[in-house]
Copies of this chain bind each other. A is one copy, B any other.
Amino acid sequence: MSIVHYEKYDSLLVAVDCIVFGFDGSELKALLIKRDFEPQIGKWSLMGGFIHQDESADDAAVRILNRLTGLDNIYMEQLHCFADVNRDPGGRVLSIAYFALININDYSQQLMFTHNAQWYSLKDVPELIFDHNTMMKAALEHIRSKAANHPVGFALLPAKFTLPQLQNLYEAIYDSKMDKRNFSRKLLSLNILIKLNEKDKASSKKGAFYYIFDEENYKRLEHEGIKFI
């Protein structure tokens, strides 16, 4: 590939940083790693890496997340490109932030240890390197506006889940309580839930019925959008 027309221009280092949200049934958490290289080695950070000459930003994000979690097919979206001149004291580096949603039980424990990774409740997120706290904040705002119009359960919940779990997820995202009667009425009216003849007895004596998503209707709503809250 020729760059003959552009040779007089500056080129820059471009990184990808991933904000990974997970849900453990009651709290929304973010995956952080203890940075193992300079500058700022030892501080908490988002998982990131540099984009290679021959890969797209999306591909870089997939590569980096796979390295951290061992997972493929992660739900992921580009969030924003952070491009202040001095955002990284190690040099002029742009960072394209991606945000990802994963089922907290799917990731590889092994890789977690390898990367010194840890799940943090959103309230307890520590001070991060560079502008990573800003990225985290932007990602939280994004998931909130996203969840208001699009179903986000598939990515964050196990395949079988209960209505109370789904409600917990929404309550965690918005950090507020909802009325269970209104919540279940709303969700059931969307025709994206299929009730199973099986109960989860883990969190109550009576037990709560499991549901799965109706993939077809779910994907349609994911694409078209709906009013959730």
Contact = CB atoms under 8 A, between A and B. Distances in A.
The dominant DSSP class at the A interface is loop
Interface residues of A, number: 37
A78 interface: yes
A223 B93 CA distance: 29
A56 interface: yes
A58 interface: yes
A81 B81 contact: yes
A5 B94 contact: no
Interface string A61-72: 000000000000
Interface in A87-104: 90-94, 96
Interface string A206-226: 000000000000000000000
Interface of A: 1-6, 9-14, 37-39, 50-58, 78, 80-81, 83-86, 90-94, 96
